[in-house]
Every structure is written in structure tokens, then in C-alpha cells.
Structure 1
Amino acid sequence: MKIIVTGGGTGGHIYPALALAKKVMEQHPDGEVLYIGSDKGLEADIVPRAGFKFEAIEISGFKRSLSLENMKTIIRFLKGVSASKKLIRDFGADAVIGTGGYVCGPVVYAAAKLGVPTMIHEQNVIPGLTNKFLSRYADRIAVSFSSSAQYFSTDKVVLTGNPRASEVAKADPQQGRASLDLRTNRKMVLVVGGSRGARAINEAFLEAVPVLANQKDLHFVYVTGEVHYENVVAKLKKGGEIPSNVSIYPFIYNMPEVLAATDLIINRAGASFLAEITSLGIPSILVPSPYVTNNHQEKNARWLEDNGAATVLLEKDLTANTLVESIEQIIQDPIKWRAMGEAAKSLGEPLSVEKLYGELKELIGH
């Protein structure tokens, strides 16, 4: 089996693609997987670290207004299609799977034009622009939420869940704690703003650190995002030594193991992330990004909140005080903390990668 996977820009597109790639290699040790992405996206770093062959094409996303840059994007798309056709032919792909992000546009489109079986995977309730475009050409459309089906041709849609959930569900919490050098039994609170970080979460958490430093029964693992790391560390050190119950990282590469060791998480509300925490049953404080298309992160977050699995703090309401209050209301109430975890677990779909792999096998007749 020779499979091309593509998708990028953020971890929410990359990790589901890698979960499927790992499943393919697990089932076909003599098979091959090629990942096509952009050298400007996170995939250029994450994919080679995961041990997969990586090829880059040049592509950019459309602006939401008429501009000269959009004309350049069209030219890059056409060049990307040409480059993708060559990569697909040379590799001899049995199928091409796209998981979102503008980089998968020319790759999946090129495969469809070459007659290679294609599938796209949509992580969010409301599909992104690239997948809406590709839905006209893909042979199969896998979705994480049943309510996404209304946006696509129903005869192509299959409900699989998010494949990242399966990978995270098997993670070892002891490995997670060991990788962070956590040698106590204190509850761990993971603070992260997504694969690129979130300024609003960083600022609120920074302001809250003096108060949280007094909560010696908790350990805070604070993932700033690469772009914010040096600035955050400098600001913390201005106030003196970094508290002993706070660990700071620019990025975490073994996120499944770290998530498995987490007792409470503060994060954005991307769909892949929600698949991860529900597969493990982690209570959460969600701060949906207000800068995404169709406000889909708030819709994702409200789904968990309505089911008793999360507390939602809109960015406009996020302060050090509201953050500390939300943490204390959950972590200092064992009954509420346990109930939120059980609610999150009930929403999880641990067999999602098996379902997606099954659709892939059926697509190519294996």
C-alpha cells in the first residue's frame, strides 16, 4: 500500500494525518507513506520528526477580500497542482488523503484529476474553505461530527470521528510525567494555546502566576508556543524566580503522553484537540479563538460545555481573575472534577482511526 497524506498549517490538520499514516504502516509494514505539505507550516518540522518522508510544495491561502495577493495565490495553486501531479506519479500512490489546510488543496485536486482515489477528512463541525472546495472532487468525505454531513454531498459522507483520538487514547501517563520530570503526585494543569500559542491565554496566565504559585498541590505545565516563548520567560523572570510549581515549554512533541498525565487543561477549542481530551476524559477550560472562520471554535467548545465536560471562557471575558476562579471551581471540587472527566470521556471516540483506515481500505479495494 502506497499512500499520500497531506494537510498542514496547524497541528489540528497535521496530527490526524499522522495518526492515519501510522495506522497504515502498522497494518502494512512493507507499505509506504509520503506526506506532502508546505515548508512554511508546522508540518515541515513535525512530520520528519515522526519518521515519515516529507515533500513540500509552495502554496498560500486566499485572502477574504479582492487583492493582488489572491491572483498570486491562484498562480501558486496551479503550480502546486503541477508539482503535486509529478509527486503522485513518481510515488505511485494508491490513494491520497487530505486533512485540511490550504496545502492539501492542490494535492487532492491533482490526485482527482489523475484518477487516483481520494478522501478528505473534516475535523470541525463547520467545514473549512479548502475541504468545501475539495468535496466536489474527492471520492469520499470523512467527518468527525454527524452534523457536518449537511455541508457535503450525502452520498460521499462517512462518519469516522477524528483519528487523533485513537492515538491519544493509548498514551502512557507515566511516560508523560517522566518526560516533564514531574516526580510528585500533585495534580497537573496543562496550559496551552494550540500549536502556535495564543497571546490572550499567555497574558492571562502570566498575570495569574503569582496567585497560582501558592497552590502547592498543583503543578502547571505552561506551553507558550514557539513565537511567544522568549517573551513569556523574560516577563516571568522580571518578577523574580519562576515558581517551582510552573514548568514552561515552547512546544511539546510528545503531546499524547503529556495529555494522558493531565488532570485539567486550559486551551483553545480546535476540533482535533477536543477529540484528544474527550478520548482521555480530561476536564477543560476552553477559550475559543474568535479569529476563526464561522466562529467554529466556540461551537466546538459549547458542545463540550453543554454536555458538562468543560467550562467556556470567551476571550473577551478572559482575565487572570476569571482564569484562577475557573481553575479553583473545578480542581478544588473533586466531585465536579470527576463528573466533568466522566462527561468528557462519554463524548470520546477511541476507534476513530480504525474507522478511517477501514474507509481507506474500501476506497482502494484492499
Structure 2
Amino acid sequence: MTKMRIIVSGGGTGGHIYPAMALIKRLQERDMIEDVLYVGTEKGLESKIVKNAGIAFKTIEIQGFRRKLSLDNLKTVKLFLSSIHKSRKIIKEFKPDIVVGTGGYVSSAIVYAAHTMHIPTVIHEQNTIAGVTNKFLAKFVDKIAIAFTEAADQFNEKKKIVFTGNPRAQEVVNIQKNDRLTEFGLEPNKDTVMIFGGSRGAKPINQAAIATMSKFVESDYQVLFVTGRVHYDGVIKLIDDKYLNSANVSVLPYIDNMPEILPDIKLIVGRSGATSIAEITALGIPAIFIPSPYVTHDHQTKNALSVAKVNAAVMIPEKDLTSDSLFKEINQIMSDTDLQQEMSNNSKKIGVPDATDRLIKVLVDLVNK
């Protein structure tokens, strides 16, 4: 069994960090790590997540380019050059067998530095639309791992591309049904819809859900409405007490270890981030996606369309989201068990339950080579 010294880097958003953490976790489970180091930024979300997981963590200072001409871009170039210098020092000290980047500006320096030092490198692209960092790094790395087949069109380096899926898929695929819904005042055996706008919540999704409460309380299914912590107090004030006290509805700010409850959910309503899609398709859960129109290159819409085109999900553009459009789509799916089954089967067909092991094979092949 190959044991590796591995540097992993990815930052900025959970979409870059959680796949990296899933990769490390699986390598540990398979006893394939001699040593691991995570390189991030001190200010990034990765600082908290990686440190809490007890993984060795080093930082570099780096920032992204502004889209408009700005003096800040001169600082960006200076930081990039100094971060490469620091990255080379980190690499010399750690002596990795391979370096993996999962996106975000921080991964650009360490992966590029590894390339210049003739160390095997891999990048992982989670979205249908490749990020700026991965597009830059594609010219230099040995392999480009992708989670959506559509992402292949984003890179000119076709021979480097390997479809692996998103490591988060394998992390959740073995979770079994459980009774966690009882923690939220819901029945564990009743069909459940979860409405969730992401870790911070999404105001347009919350507004549509609030306006639909009177219909939810009379439905044959129950609704778990997760508002996001920053919106919770405001949402509660707008919902009539008789709806809040209904046995059919539970309103929460956030759920820790949310993947644990996914096997007990019949339908998910929410954003179409890459991590969410990886988890949903691995478990085969029908979905209604309301993509965020505010993300770079509108990649959430492209993500959602990739699932909707095989009839594993329905997409409602945010501009078309109303109480009526939301309830119509939810009710159509929840009142038709054959449709639920068809969507679930289609979702599983595009899910990648062995995504992390596929990515690990790419790493092993490069290290052995």
C-alpha cells in the first residue's frame, strides 16, 4: 500500500475546503498517509476548519485580482511572488510526494511552486465552470480532476483531465437512515421536505418559504425549514405562531452535521453549490434548485442545469421564485411517488459514490510513476 507525504491546499469557501478535508479523511481511513500538511490563509475559513480537525496547517498571504484596473492588483502580484517563495520553503521542509489544490487563490502559489520543483501536482475542480485559479494552474499540473463532465470544456489540456466526482459524495454515501428528525420535533417516518439556503441562508428562499407556510401546515408531508443563522430571528418574527406551533413544520437557524439527516429527506430545496450536488446525487435525493445568481460566472445555474437535464432535479431561477412557484414544484414531486422514484434513480445515476477513491487512484499513479 502506497503511503504518501501530501500537501493539500484550498480555501476561500467551503466548496474548496470540504472536498480537500474529505480527501484527507479517506486517505487516513485507508492508512495511506505518512504525513499531511494543509496550506491555507490565516483569514480564510480553512484556518478554523483545518485546525479544528487537528491537521497540521501552515499559512501564506495571498489575494485575488480585482476585475477592474486597480493599484490593489500591484499588491496582488507582489503577494503572489512572495507566496511562491514561501511555498518553496514549505515544500523543501515538508518534502511532499504530491501536492493537491482544490481551488481558491491560496492553492495557486503552493501548486505552482511544486510544479517548478518537479513534484507531482493535481488540481480538483468542483464546479461546471472552472475557477480562475484552476484555469491558471491547468497549464502546469500533471492531472486535472473534475466533478462535472461539463467542466472538461473549460480546459484546453484535455489529456490531463480525469473525471473523479467530488470527494464529498463518498463521505456521505454510507450514512444510513436515522431518527434525527425527532430532535427537531418532526416524525422520523413521515415524508419530509428540507428547505435550506446554505450555511448563511438565502433571503429570497426564506421569503418564499415564509409565504408558503399556510400551505405547508395542511400538507401530507412535513417541512424542515433551515433559515441560516443570520436570518433566523427575522424569519421567526414574520411567521404566525400557529404555523410555528404546527407539528408539520420545524424552523431552525442551522443544523450541525447536516449530511446525517439527508437519508431521511425526500426532497431538498436550496442552492446548487457543488458540495450540495455531490451529496444529493450520491444519496439519490430529488431536488429543487434555486441557484444563486451572485456567484462567479453564474456557475450555480450551470451546476443545477447539469442535474435538471437528466430529470434528477427541477430548477427555479431566483427571479421566478414565488410562493406559488415554490409550492407548485414541491407539491408536484411530493404528491407523486413514481416521480420521486424516477428522480431518485436518475440522481443516483449521475452520483459518484466512490469519488474519493477515484481521486486517490490518480494520486497513487502519479506518485508511483
Q: Taking structure 2 as the reference length, what is the TM-score of the superposition?
A: 0.89
Match in the other structure for 1:27 = 30
CA distance 1:223–1:240, shift in 2 (3 Å):
closer
Correspondences of 1:215-234 after superposition (within 5 Å): 215=219, 217-234=220-237
Contact kept, 8 Å, 2:244 with 2:251, in 1: the verdict is: no
Match in the other structure for 2:349 = 346
CA distance 1:357–1:180, shift in 2 (3 Å):
farther
Q: Matched residues in 1 for 2:231 and 2:61: separation?
A: 26
Match in the other structure for 2:85 = 82
CA distance 1:39–1:228, shift in 2 (3 Å):
farther
Helix, strand or coil for the counterpart of 2:178?
helix
Deviates more, 1:59-68 or 1:273-282: 59-68
Does structure 1 residue 154 correspond to structure 2 residue 170? Answer: no
Once the two structures are TM-superposed, the CA of residue 315 in structure 1 deviates from its matched residue by 0.5
Q: Given the alignment, which residue of 117, 121, 136 partners 2:120?
A: 117
Whichever residue aligns with residue 231 of structure 2, its letter is H
Match in the other structure for 2:250 = 247
Correspondences of 1:37-76 after superposition (within 5 Å): 37-76=40-79
CA distance 1:352–1:281, shift in 2 (3 Å):
same
Helix, strand or coil for the counterpart of 1:170?
coil
Q: Given the alignment, which residue of 164, 170, 173 partners 1:169?
A: 173
Deviates more, 1:232-241 or 1:295-304: 232-241
CA-atom RMSD, angstroms?
Answer: 2.5
Once the two structures are TM-superposed, the CA of residue 176 in structure 1 deviates from its matched residue by 4.9
Unaligned runs of 5+ in 1: none
Deviates more, 1:64-73 or 1:352-361: 64-73
CA distance 1:243–1:89, shift in 2 (3 Å):
farther
Once the two structures are TM-superposed, the CA of residue 318 in structure 1 deviates from its matched residue by 0.6
Match in the other structure for 1:290 = 293
Q: Matched residues in 2 for 1:255 and 1:345: separation?
A: 19
CA distance 1:241–1:294, shift in 2 (3 Å):
closer
Whichever residue aligns with residue 298 of structure 2, its letter is N
Q: Matched residues in 1 for 2:182 and 2:5: separation?
A: 36
CA distance 1:305–1:119, shift in 2 (3 Å):
same
Q: Matched residues in 1 for 2:39 and 2:245: separation?
A: 40
Match in the other structure for 1:190 = 194
Q: Matched residues in 2 for 1:55 and 1:206: separation?
A: 43
1:256-302 deviations in whole A, cap 9, x for unaligned? 22222221001111223212111111000001122233332222212
Deviates more, 1:303-312 or 1:234-243: 234-243
Q: Given the alignment, which residue of 207, 213, 217 partners 2:211?
A: 207
Q: Matched residues in 1 for 2:81 and 2:198: separation?
A: 31
Helix, strand or coil for the counterpart of 1:203?
helix
Q: Matched residues in 2 for 1:117 and 1:213: separation?
A: 56
Does structure 1 residue 314 correspond to structure 2 residue 299? Answer: no
Q: Matched residues in 2 for 1:248 and 1:38: separation?
A: 35
Whichever residue aligns with residue 264 of structure 1, its letter is L
Deviates more, 1:342-351 or 1:67-76: 67-76
Q: Matched residues in 2 for 1:49 and 1:182: separation?
A: 31
CA distance 1:161–1:184, shift in 2 (3 Å):
closer
CA distance 1:279–1:26, shift in 2 (3 Å):
same
1:229-267 deviations in whole A, cap 9, x for unaligned? 443344447888464443344444423222222210011
Helix, strand or coil for the counterpart of 1:105?
helix
Q: Matched residues in 1 for 2:55 and 2:360: separation?
A: 18
Match in the other structure for 1:96 = 99
Contact kept, 8 Å, 1:85 with 1:111, in 2: the verdict is: yes
Whichever residue aligns with residue 33 of structure 1, its letter is V
CA distance 1:358–1:68, shift in 2 (3 Å):
same
Q: Matched residues in 1 for 2:240 and 2:106: separation?
A: 39
Contact kept, 8 Å, 1:10 with 1:196, in 2: the verdict is: no
Q: Percent identity?
A: 45
Once the two structures are TM-superposed, the CA of residue 5 in structure 1 deviates from its matched residue by 1.4
Q: Matched residues in 1 for 2:25 and 2:115: separation?
A: 24
1:86-130 deviations in whole A, cap 9, x for unaligned? 333333322111111222122212222333221101112221111
Deviates more, 1:133-142 or 1:189-198: 189-198
1:211-231 deviations in whole A, cap 9, x for unaligned? 32333x433333333443443
Q: Given the alignment, which residue of 127, 132, 137 partners 1:134?
A: 137
Once the two structures are TM-superposed, the CA of residue 358 in structure 1 deviates from its matched residue by 0.4
Once the two structures are TM-superposed, the CA of residue 51 in structure 1 deviates from its matched residue by 4.0
CA distance 1:49–1:180, shift in 2 (3 Å):
farther
Whichever residue aligns with residue 35 of structure 1, its letter is Y
How many correspondences in the alignment? Answer: 365
Does structure 1 residue 299 correspond to structure 2 residue 299? Answer: no
Does structure 1 residue 7 correspond to structure 2 residue 1? Answer: no
CA distance 1:242–1:77, shift in 2 (3 Å):
farther
Contact kept, 8 Å, 1:176 with 1:260, in 2: the verdict is: no
